[in-house]
Every structure is written in C-alpha cells, then in structure tokens.
Structure 1
Amino acid sequence: MSWTVTITISWSSGLASKAIMGFFLRMGQLLSTCVSFSLGASLGIWEEGLGKWCMFIWCLCFATSLIISIVELCGLPSRLPCSWDGFLHAYSSYFIIICIVTSFIFGTSYIQVFSPGPAQSRAIIATAFSCVAALLYAIEMAWVCVRPGDMVCFVPTFPGVLRRLENHLAWVIFAFISNTDLYQHQPALVWCVAVYAICFILGAVNFLVNGCDCDNDKTLLLPVPCLLWVQTVLSVLLYATAVILWPLYQFHEKWGGQPQRSSDMSCSDQLTTFFCIWDQRLVVAILTAINLLVYVADMMYLILEAFVWIEAQRRDPGFFFSPAVSSSTSDVP
C-alpha cells in the first residue's frame, strides 16, 4: 500500500511541476513579446519594411503563446490526435530562431538610427526583451525533453538538419522581403516571393507533422516519405527559378535593376537603417542561392536513400517490411 501511495504522489507532483513550469514560461513569453511589441510601436516603425516584420513576429509569438496557454488551461492537449509535447518541441525550436533573427535585425537597424535618449533606450529595451523571449523558448524546448512524461527528445540526423536549415533561411528571407518596394513593381519578383512562401509552408507542414509524431496517424492523405519527396523536388524546381529571376530583375539594368550600390539613393542617406534597399536585395539573392544548395543536398540524400532502399530490398525483399525499418524511413527533422 505504501508503495502505491508513493507512486501516486510522485506522479501527481510530476504533473504539478509540468503545469507550474509551463505557466511561468508562458507568462514570460507573453510579457517579453508584449513589451518588445509595445516599445517598437511607440517608436513608430510601422512605415519600415523591417519594422513591420519585427512587429509581426512579436505579435505571432504572443498570439501563439496565448493560444497554447488557453489550450493547456482547458485541458485539451490529451484530446489532440498528435503528441502535444512534440508540438511544443517543434514550435519552440522554430521561435528560438525567429526571435534571435528579429532581435538582430531590429537592433542593428534601429538602435543606431536614434540619437542617445529615450527613443534609443526604448529600442535597446525592445531588443533585450526579444532576446529574453528567445531564451525562454530555448528553456521550454529543453524543459520538454527533461520534464516528467513520455517525451523522448531526439538528435536530428543530417537530413533533419538540412530541413531545419531550409525553414530557418526562409525566415531570414522573409525579414528582408518585408519591404514591398523590393518586388511589387515586377511580376517576376512577386513570383519569387510566392516561391519563398510556398516552399516555407511545405517545409513547415513537414516539420510539424514529424515533430508532432503525426507520421503514424492513419488519417494522413499522403505518407510522410511521399510528402518529403513532393516538398523537396518541388522546392528545388521553384528555387531554381527564383535564383535566376531575383538577381536578374534586381541587379541587371536591362530589366530595371541597379547593378551598383551607389545608384541606390537609400544607401547614401545617413539617416537610413543599417540595411539599405540595395543591401536587402543582395542578402535575399545570397540566401536564395544558399537555400537552393540546401534543397539540392536534401534531394540528393533522398535519391541516395532510395537507391540504398532498392538495393537492400533486392537482396532481402522481406527486410523493409519489418515495422522497425518501416518507421525509420520517415526521418524526423
């Protein structure tokens, strides 16, 4: 009897510690993103493309943390078809990166613009709280791995690292194309923006499906290996068009581009942000090329994996029908 009581108390204290720690992490995330958003709004950065992107990210983080808090307070995680811990691990790993990127972009773009005084102090505080938000998301990702429960954290494999890198690079690209003056004047550049959005959505769906352990869900219309192939091949084809069209229409005079930085008036303005428009165009072009290489590496890995699978099946047709091997074909990024 005493052994049973001990187990019950330990299990209850484990649940209590999960709830208490989750509550404090969520409140910290809400507070830090709200402070960053409020201070950014007080600086009047709505007119700048990078400023709009920073404000959007802080709003997104605040709204997501608020929704997660409501779901947990209502006791809904146990009713979801996917792993709630897996979802928390996936979303927090995403938000770590975007908060760090936002902190860097906001800090380098706006702190040096304001002269020493209240405005610059607000910009510094907003950047600091954005960094605090990133730290809190990192703590949550680590806490999901060590807190009481059945969550088993993983070390991402090589293709898993590639798929995370694809999405993280897309977040940085979105930061620099938040200035609509970069592309709205040319349909070809609008197509490039659509490419970034489509590939990111496909990658996010794949990441969340794997991160939430939904790859074992029988209700999925497409199996995860098929989803990976469709996402990777389509992304390579789409990025191949963007890596040609973006530099062509941004830097070639024949197509209305500006080949030299000195020809951009915003770069000669001493009061402009750290990244002028020409710099933003160049960063997007470089990141597009890098992300294309990452997608190509991902596709080559899938092709190599397929050849290995075919060769192993030829030698032992019944090997890949075992449950253990079948579950390993859908790599969790």
Structure 2
Amino acid sequence: MDPHGGHYLNKDAVLSPLGAARMCQLLLGCTIMALVSHGAGYSASYGTFCMFVWCFCFAVTLVVFTLDITRLHNCMPISWDNFTVAFAMLATLMYITASVVYPVYFLQVEWPDEEWEVQIYRIAVTVCSSICCFPYGVEVFLTQAKPGAVVGYMATVSGLLKVVQAFVACIIFGALANDSEYNNYIATQYCVVVYSLCFSITVIVIVLTVSGRTSALRFPFDRFVVVYTFFAMILYLSTALIWPIFSFDKKYGTTTRPEDCPRGECPWDSKLVVAVFTSVNLILYFVDLLYSQRIRFISSSAA
C-alpha cells in the first residue's frame, strides 16, 4: 500500500479486458517463438523478418505489461497512452505481414515424408501468428478514441492512420531495395524522394506525439498535421501516376511479368508491389485528410 491508501500494483492491468488481451499476446508470442525454435525453423531474409516481428512484439509487450502492472510508466518521459496504442497498431500490422510472409515462403503444398513433422510445426506457427493479430487488434479497439472521451492524438483515427502510413512506406522501401531498378529514370528517383520525405515527416509526427512534446512547439500542431497530410496526399497522387508509367509502360519497361524472372528476385514484382502500396498510401492519406478536417471542424465549433 502507498501512503495514500492505494495499491502499488495495478490490478486492472491484469483483470481488465485490456490486460486479458495483453496476456493473450504474451502467451501466443511465447508459443510462436518456442515452435519456431524447436521445430519450424526459419531461414533467409524473409524468415529473419518474421522472427524479428515475433521477438520484437513479444519483448515490447512484456515491457508494456510490466510497466503497466507496476505503475512505473508514470516515471517515463513519454505519453503512455499514445505510446501503447501506437505500438498495438504497429504490432497488429507486423503480425498480419508475418502471418502472410511465413506460410508463403515456408509452407509447401506437398512435402517428403521425412519433412512432415517440420511442416506441422510451421502450420502451427502460421495459425498462432494469425490468431495473435486479434489480441493486438482488440487492444487498438479498446484504447482508441470513443465519442466524447478526451484522448491522445494517436488514439484517434488520424493518429492510427499515421502508423499505418509509416508501415506501408516501409513495405514500399523493402520493395525498392529488392532490385526495383528505380535508378533507371529521374522520375522514379523522384518517387523515392517522395516516399522518403513523407515517411520521415510521418515518423516525426508520431515521435513528437508519443514523446508528449507537441505542446512545446511554436506552431499549432493540429494545423501542421492537416497541412502536411494535404501535401502528402498531393505528392502521393503524383507518384501514383508516375511510377506505373515508368515501370509498366512498354516505352520504359514491360507490361507483363517476364517468364524467366525468379520468384522473390524479380524487378517486375518489386515494381508491382511499389505501385500497389503507393495507391494504398494515397487512399490512407486521403482518408486521414478527411478525418483531420472533421476533427478541426468539431473542435472549432465546440470552441
């Protein structure tokens, strides 16, 4: 008991729906790492990425759960609510990606009799990884902004979209690095500059919010976010037009996938991934802009 009559440990961190979701995350994360280490295995860059996702999410979740139950997060110089909802959103996206990547590269439709046990382990890993997406999604649902509630920016739809935009940009960077031949034309290099610029500013917005430093800025943070989102949407609109032209138009590239392209190392595949996720981020920034404008309208009306 503390001097004011309260408990040192936070029972709600365990007994609440949020606590239950985090314990499920830890249980499933531990199970996945045990299965991979014991029999499923991993290799190459794709397997390393999946293992990193599972270990990283488990480690951060364990830290979050420990700090929450001991109330030590009050001693940290960050906005705790903004940090936890941003991480839960990121972990959901990372688990979804790993749950798709791992079976694509490690599960086989047919396998030799001597490998059946390994494949069973890999099926179990895929199932557990897919299930673990839901506890993280539940945490996002439980901690996101509710009507009439006063919450941090990252708990709003706009804040959550910032995490998704940054994650999608990381997928684009991964495809660019995988022999996408973006150096062939100045136009495609311009697209890379746009991706890098928007990703950097989005990360800065997230870091400032999580660190609780937005109030120290000399300009209105909410207005800056809206203006930035508008320009980011315009820039992504330009890349959504330029990248496909210089990647798939027969004057600059090939309209169909070459038959001799190896799986996972084909520039055409990388270009297609960049084109698809460029359109995805364009839609995300557009939705973000609409929601940000709605927030400003409500706030100014309330004022």
How does the TM-score come out when normalised to structure 2?
0.68
Which whole-Å CA distance do the structure 1 matches of 2:133 and 2:158 have between them?
25
CA contact (8 A) 1:166 1:291 kept: yes
Q: 2:240 aligns with which of 240, 243, 263?
A: 243
Counterpart residue identity of residue 227, structure 1 = F
Deviation at 1:85, TM superposition (A): 3.0
2:132 aligned residue: 133
Deviation at 1:207, TM superposition (A): 4.8
CA contact (8 A) 1:28 1:133 kept: no
CA contact (8 A) 1:252 1:259 kept: yes
SS at 1:12's partner residue?
coil
Which whole-Å CA distance do the structure 1 matches of 2:140 and 2:157 have between them?
20
2:249 aligned residue: 252
- The 1:114–1:231 alpha-carbon spacing in structure 2 relative to 1, beyond 3 Å, is farther
- The 1:153–1:298 alpha-carbon spacing in structure 2 relative to 1, beyond 3 Å, is closer
Deviation at 1:252, TM superposition (A): 3.3
- Aligned ranges for residues 38-57 of structure 1 at < 5 Å? 38=37, 42-46=41-45, 50-51=46-47, 53-57=49-53
Which whole-Å CA distance do the structure 1 matches of 2:175 and 2:183 have between them?
13
Are residue 12 (structure 1) and residue 12 (structure 2) matched? no
1:281 aligned residue: 271
Counterpart residue identity of residue 282, structure 2 = L
- The 1:87–1:305 alpha-carbon spacing in structure 2 relative to 1, beyond 3 Å, is closer
Tell me the number of residue pairs that the alignment of Structure 1 and Structure 2 aligns. Answer: 288
- The 1:140–1:39 alpha-carbon spacing in structure 2 relative to 1, beyond 3 Å, is farther
Structure 1 residues without counterparts, runs of 5 or longer: 1-6, 310-318, 326-333
- Aligned ranges for residues 29-44 of structure 1 at < 5 Å? 30-32=29-31, 34-35=33-34, 38=37, 42-44=41-43
Deviation at 1:95, TM superposition (A): 1.4
1:220 aligned residue: 217
2:180 aligned residue: 182
1:103 aligned residue: 99
Q: Deviations over 1:191-236 (max 9, x none)?
A: 54453344234334435655x5947x53235432233134313423
- The 1:159–1:40 alpha-carbon spacing in structure 2 relative to 1, beyond 3 Å, is farther
Which whole-Å CA distance do the structure 2 matches of 1:203 and 1:33 have between them?
31
Q: 1:65 aligns with which of 52, 61, 64?
A: 61
Which whole-Å CA distance do the structure 2 matches of 1:142 and 1:300 have between them?
21
Structure 2 residues without counterparts, runs of 5 or longer: none
| Amino-acid identity (%) | 25
Give the number of the structure whose alpha-carbon radius of gyration is greater: 1
- The 1:125–1:184 alpha-carbon spacing in structure 2 relative to 1, beyond 3 Å, is farther
Deviation at 1:34, TM superposition (A): 3.2
Which whole-Å CA distance do the structure 2 matches of 1:264 and 1:300 have between them?
42
- The 1:218–1:161 alpha-carbon spacing in structure 2 relative to 1, beyond 3 Å, is closer
Q: Deviations over 1:233-284 (max 9, x none)?
A: 34234324432443234223443x22212x2423xx6xx46x9653443233
1:312 aligned residue: none
1:202 aligned residue: 201
Counterpart residue identity of residue 289, structure 1 = S
Which whole-Å CA distance do the structure 2 matches of 1:137 and 1:158 have between them?
16
CA contact (8 A) 1:45 1:51 kept: yes
Which whole-Å CA distance do the structure 2 matches of 1:177 and 1:40 have between them?
30
Are residue 94 (structure 1) and residue 90 (structure 2) matched? yes
Q: 2:76 aligns with which of 71, 75, 80?
A: 80
- The 1:209–1:242 alpha-carbon spacing in structure 2 relative to 1, beyond 3 Å, is same
Which whole-Å CA distance do the structure 2 matches of 1:129 and 1:246 have between them?
37
CA contact (8 A) 2:161 2:284 kept: yes
- The 1:80–1:240 alpha-carbon spacing in structure 2 relative to 1, beyond 3 Å, is same
